[in-house]
Amino acid sequence: MTAAELAALVGRRFAGGEYTIAHWENALLTDCTGRGPMTGDLAHPIVLFHVPIQGAGTSIAELFELGGADGRAGSVTLLGYDWEYLRPLHEQCAYRVDGRIVAAERTNDDQGRPAHDDIAFSIELVEPGGELAARVTNRWRFIR
Mean pLDDT of each 10-residue bin along the chain, 144 residues long: 94 97 92 84 93 95 91 89 96 98 96 95 98 97 94
Report the C-alpha gap between 140 and 79 in whole angstroms.
Answer: 5
Q: What is the pLDDT of residue 70?
A: 80
Q: Are strands 94-108 and 114-126 parallel, antiparallel or unpaired?
A: antiparallel
**Whole-prediction pTM value?**
0.91
Helices assigned H by DSSP within the chain: 3-8, 23-32, 51-55, 60-66
CB atoms within 10 A of CB 105: 14
- Ranges of each domain in the chain: 3-143
Q: What is the pLDDT of residue 7?
A: 96
Amino acid at 9: L
For domain 3-143, say whether CATH 3.40.190.170 is its number.
no
Nearest Cα residue to 8 out of 68, 54, 50, 59:
68
Report the C-alpha gap between 119 and 66 in whole angstroms.
Answer: 9
| Local structure of residue 14 (DSSP, 8 states) | P
Q: What is the pLDDT of residue 37?
A: 78
